[in-house]
Structure 1
Amino acid sequence: MLAKTYGSAVYGVNAYLITIEVNVSKGTKYFMVGLPDNAVKESQQRIEAAIKYLGYKMPRQKIVINMAPADIRKEGAAYDLPIAMGIMAASGQISPDLLDQYVIMGELSLDGSLRPVKGVLPIAIEARRQGYKGFILPKINAKEAAIVNNLEVIGIESMQEAIDFLEGNSQIKPVESNTREVFFDTLNDYEADFEHVQGQENIKRALEIAAAGGHNVIMIGPPGAGKTMLAKRLPSILPPLTLHEALETTKIHSVAGKMPANSALISVRPFRSPHHTISDVALVGGGGIPQPGEISLSHHGVLFLDELPEFKRTVLEVLRQPLEERQVTISRAKLSVDFPANFMLIASMNPCPCGYYNHPEKECVCGPGVVQRYLNKVSGPLLDRIDLHVEVTPVSFDEMTAMRKSETSAGIRERVIKAREIQTDRFKDQKKIHSNAMMPPAMVKQLCSISPSGKTLLKTAMERLGLSARAYDRILKVSRTIADLAHSEEIKVEHLAEAIQYRSLDRENWAG
């Protein structure tokens, strides 16, 4: 007897329908075809144990399982449940009537209970697109799938519950989720706030400019100056995610298996801080079947690289193209996958190995040439792609113990949102440009015109600091953002001067 069930495979951030055909006929042995990986092949033992544990019979006949289309590789244990249901239907132990109405996914334990699976959101979106009535999956993943409307999401805890539901022996209420309610309830759930930061007003100003224009930042300062503390608070002043951005971000985290248990939606901007031992594949994504890396998990959020020179050079160099293109393409022999990577890069570093070069009080003990070699670990082309270079100095005792209140993240965020609204209006006719940092060179010339006195100032700075053409564009973009924060249509000399000062690593006194 032949039975069909339906599952799904995820490639990139999109899902594709998989038809699982099970034929039970005369003979012996168990055959599985259709490019299954080892985890799928090993499902035989899990399925047999679960079927027997629940009191059913594993057919002692020839079982052929075909996973179509056969030219797409299937990986992971999430196919256990649809294969098991196919075997049960093909052997006449359950009715096959409802199997063609549902996409089924779930990893089986030996006692028939279900473990969570990855990529639930894109699978639910594809199930609705293909016209399926519902999606049967582990209960722990149900909230995530339920944000897709017009689809019955049936959350179950065991294979027995799936059998009872498909046989009509029990009614399971579909899991429902009010997407907008979930989204708006958790929109401002940030643990860190700038009101807890004493002093460092110049760094707060730099981060406000970065947030307002979507600019990349590097902070240079001695150990304990507060670089990491400030970086962790950056997401709290970024504009709130839109619902579309939240769904996009949730899809990526779902595919990577990074969704928190029983959560439905990622509604706050992600903050990713990988360790400096990370590999280039883990950073940009990859693998046999490509998975998203840290830059994609930071999509619509912040990627923080602490102690930047400690990262391997090859790891840092692979960032250059995604920083420009806002996406990364992973190519393999049989497929090519695009992952979105529209993130803000914020990096921190000590000025030298001992950490005290240019320190106002402590003396640097690094030998001649050591500071330059340390800074050279970060390539010039990468630094050119970072708009703001900010020096972080230690906070004095008087500032730390001052009783005055610092401005809250909410206050800073209001100014950032107003500046972003100006940019939204400016780029309303552009599909792929949403902030000043995204402007291509041609648009920079058009939208960042400066006065003759501004040109003189910028020419002097370019000659003295030896800035590249890309750094020239960065200065103009940052000055445009500063003007937006001041609600000025023109880029004034003071806006340009402030933008130029955020090129610390281009100055002669840095390891000169």
Structure 2
Amino acid sequence: MALAVLNSCALSGISSTLVRTEVHIGAGLPSFLLVGLASTGVKESRDRVRTAIISSGFEFPVGRITVNLSPADLPKESGRFDLPIALGVLMATGQLRLSPSQRKALLPHLYFVGELSLSGALCSIQSPLILALSIFKSDPQAILVMPRADAAMAALVDGLTVIGANSLRDVVAHLESRQIIEASTASDFNGFKDEMADFAVERDLCLSDVRGQKQACYLLELAACGAHSILLSGPSGVGKTMLAQRLPSILPNLSNLQRLELLAIQSVSANGIVDTGFRPPHKVPHSSISDPALLGGGSHTAYPGEISLAHHGSLFLDELAEFKRSTLEALRVPLEAGEISIARLNSQQIYPALFQLVAAANPCACGYLDHPEQTCVCTHRAINQYQSRISGPLLERIDIHYKVPPLMTSWIEAEPAEPSEVVRQRVAECRERQLKRQGVFNAHLKSGQIRQYCVLSPELQRELESAAQQKAWSTRVVQSILRLARSAADMRGAEVIEGDDLAMAIYCRQPFSKKEEGRIYWHEVRKGSSIN
């Protein structure tokens, strides 16, 4: 057989594309030609494959060898194509013999990835989990053959058969049924990560550390139940940061699929995989962070940023008004879309960014505006300038706005909140109801789903319209109110949104700036004068 065709895949961000590796051996002067928009690293596989075949005890053919990596317009990088190229050469020369039934039934579902050393050993490759996820999604019957060092991670994908081999000779013996390699399992990988998960739970902060902020704790639970974003404002020292830091402790564990998606994102990040088991990620970037570090980017390779590394978790922005204006404005699109698109000269990557934003902000530069005991030293102009650092469009995309009040009693004597473990159980049950009913969390409901699942009675509709007119709410804010009312009803275990649920949702949109408070005040004044 002078032509062999095998399956492989090319990595692109956090997804991969099927690549057909075609190897043809014909008469002519000895040459080894590799085509298909291959990078320098892929073209260097010619020397690695030749030496690895000879070192493994096989004969390297003398003739004109042409290797085509299809599709031709897809860039190919790294040495993961060494294994399919070497097997293609052996199949084309008859040194690897497959039965007709194997070629017809088995070969179309076999996928080969792996870099070869000069001795014929298989070396570890980059992002094996991404390759495994993409291959399984495109072909549920797929059998992935790869280096044994990466097989345990790839075997995390339930339903995918992963064969981990140590060398080229082992792969050939397995395919010829001379020495069968057992399918790899995720037991070793999972055993290590379970310990990490237990450690992550133990080090979580507890919500019971918060005292005297019953309403704030309820809104934090409401945000966790529906995956809503929340902005905590108020004078310095009232406990905004303490509340925000406890949000991860009441979030339920990730599902296996969510954990795999997070591991896939981490595998292409600059820092690699930093797994915390099944606990959701919690990122706390400093206010001096750059746009590429927060959103993702890089000079040549577009790495995922903090918002993508917080996928299925929470992103805490403390001192929100201290972040650069451009950085905050860039969050508007991923907050709604749940993903971020990063374009570079020769590529464009789309990374998921379905995170829950929790932010804390002081009302002014000195931090004591509206404090009952401390005096604010800021002028009206300075207050307006400080509060205007957070734009209206960004505030519209944050579901819950709550001013945390100062404690009027002693912190020691105040009543503590419930433990995080108790609240986490309620949040898990509430989220389960949402997924069972609509397939997504309430914060991610689209317009059509809002009309279907957030139905109000005529009386409640009039109440919402009156509040929207009074506070000059946009359509986006009104939809956010409906989502919050749906979450409040789910917390009670009710299917119908009632008046208390809508009242709580409206209460959650407290004005952040003095300008907004003034607009509401003068609206009430004009309304009262018109009645008189």
Equivalence for 2:419: 408
What letter is aligned with 2:503? L
What letter is aligned with 2:423? I
TM-score by length of 2: 0.73
CA change 1:9–1:113 in 2 (3 A) is closer
Aligned-pair distance for 1:196?
A: 5.7
Q: Assess if the C-alpha contact under 8 Å between 2:295 and 2:340 holds in 1.
A: no
Aligned-pair distance for 1:175?
A: 1.0
> Is residue 2:519 matched to residue 1:496?
no
Q: Assess if the C-alpha contact under 8 Å between 2:482 and 2:502 holds in 1.
A: no
Aligned-pair distance for 1:385?
A: 1.1
CA change 1:129–1:421 in 2 (3 A) is closer
Q: Secondary structure at the match of 1:219?
A: strand
Superposition map of 1:184-203 within 5 A: 190=201, 191-195=203-207, 197-199=209-211, 200-203=213-216
Query: 1:383-419 CA deviation, whole Å, 9 max, x = no partner?
Result: 01111123356789953x6798652222112333444
What letter is aligned with 1:492? G
CA change 1:458–1:134 in 2 (3 A) is closer
2:112 to 93, 99, 104: 104
Deviates more, 1:166-175 or 1:186-195: 186-195
Superposition map of 1:429-468 within 5 A: 430=438, 434-435=441-442, 438=445, 440=447, 443=451, 447-449=455-457, 451=459, 459=466, 463=470, 466-468=472-474
Query: 1:78-107 CA deviation, whole Å, 9 max, x = no partner?
Result: 323333444565577x52538946312124
CA change 1:365–1:49 in 2 (3 A) is farther
Q: Secondary structure at the match of 1:447?
A: coil
Superposition map of 1:45-444 within 5 A: 47=49, 62-87=64-89, 95=96, 97=98, 100=107, 102-108=110-116, 112-123=121-132, 126=135, 130=139, 134-148=143-157, 151-159=160-168, 161-162=170-171, 165-166=174-175, 170-177=179-186, 190=201, 191-195=203-207, 197-199=209-211, 200-220=213-233, 227-242=240-255, 245-246=258-259, 249=262, 260=273, 267-274=278-285, 276=287, 277-279=289-291, 283=295, 294-327=306-339, 340-359=352-371, 364=376, 369-392=381-404, 399=411, 406-420=417-431, 423=434, 428=437, 430=438, 434-435=441-442, 438=445, 440=447, 443=451
Q: Assess if the C-alpha contact under 8 Å between 1:40 and 1:76 holds in 2.
A: yes
Mapped partners of 2:280, 2:218: distance in 1 = 20
Mapped partners of 1:35, 1:415: distance in 2 = 53
What letter is aligned with 1:345? L
Q: Assess if the C-alpha contact under 8 Å between 1:54 and 1:160 holds in 2.
A: yes
Taking only aligned residues, the RMSD between alpha carbons, in angstroms, comes to 4.8
Mapped partners of 1:226, 1:61: distance in 2 = 75
> Is residue 2:22 matched to residue 1:21?
yes
CA change 1:470–1:9 in 2 (3 A) is same
Mapped partners of 2:115, 2:13: distance in 1 = 21
Q: Assess if the C-alpha contact under 8 Å between 1:113 and 1:159 holds in 2.
A: yes
Aligned-pair distance for 1:306?
A: 3.8
What letter is aligned with 1:379? S
Percent sequence identity over aligned pairs? 33
CA change 1:142–1:509 in 2 (3 A) is same
> Is residue 2:482 matched to residue 1:471?
no
CA change 1:409–1:33 in 2 (3 A) is same
Equivalence for 1:8: 9
CA change 1:319–1:133 in 2 (3 A) is closer
What letter is aligned with 1:34? G
Q: Assess if the C-alpha contact under 8 Å between 1:219 and 1:348 holds in 2.
A: yes
Aligned-pair distance for 1:274?
A: 4.6
Deviates more, 1:335-344 or 1:105-114: 335-344
Aligned-pair distance for 1:210?
A: 0.6
Q: Assess if the C-alpha contact under 8 Å between 1:372 and 1:511 holds in 2.
A: no
Equivalence for 1:35: 37
Mapped partners of 1:476, 1:61: distance in 2 = 71
Q: Assess if the C-alpha contact under 8 Å between 2:140 and 2:159 holds in 1.
A: no
Q: Assess if the C-alpha contact under 8 Å between 2:210 and 2:242 holds in 1.
A: no
- Bigger Cα Rg: 2
Mapped partners of 1:132, 1:457: distance in 2 = 52
Equivalence for 2:487: 481
User: Unaligned 5+ residue runs, structure 2?
Assistant: 520-532
CA change 1:53–1:499 in 2 (3 A) is farther
CA change 1:230–1:104 in 2 (3 A) is farther
Aligned-pair distance for 1:56?
A: 7.1
Aligned-pair distance for 1:439?
A: 5.4
Aligned-pair distance for 1:371?
A: 3.5
Mapped partners of 2:283, 2:167: distance in 1 = 34
Deviates more, 1:406-415 or 1:481-490: 481-490
Q: Assess if the C-alpha contact under 8 Å between 1:10 and 1:123 holds in 2.
A: no
Q: Secondary structure at the match of 2:80?
A: helix
What letter is aligned with 1:435? N
Q: Assess if the C-alpha contact under 8 Å between 1:286 and 1:293 holds in 2.
A: no
TM-score by length of 1: 0.76
Q: Assess if the C-alpha contact under 8 Å between 2:21 and 2:84 holds in 1.
A: yes
Query: 1:248-297 CA deviation, whole Å, 9 max, x = no partner?
Result: 55555566698748x8x964433344555243596267998977655454
Q: Secondary structure at the match of 2:81?
A: helix
Q: Assess if the C-alpha contact under 8 Å between 1:50 and 1:109 holds in 2.
A: yes
Aligned-pair distance for 1:146?
A: 1.9
CA change 1:458–1:21 in 2 (3 A) is closer
Aligned-pair distance for 1:68?
A: 1.1
What letter is aligned with 2:113? M
Aligned-pair distance for 1:126?
A: 2.5
Query: 1:335-383 CA deviation, whole Å, 9 max, x = no partner?
Result: 9876554432222334444545445555555566334333323221110
**Number of aligned positions between the proteins:** 501
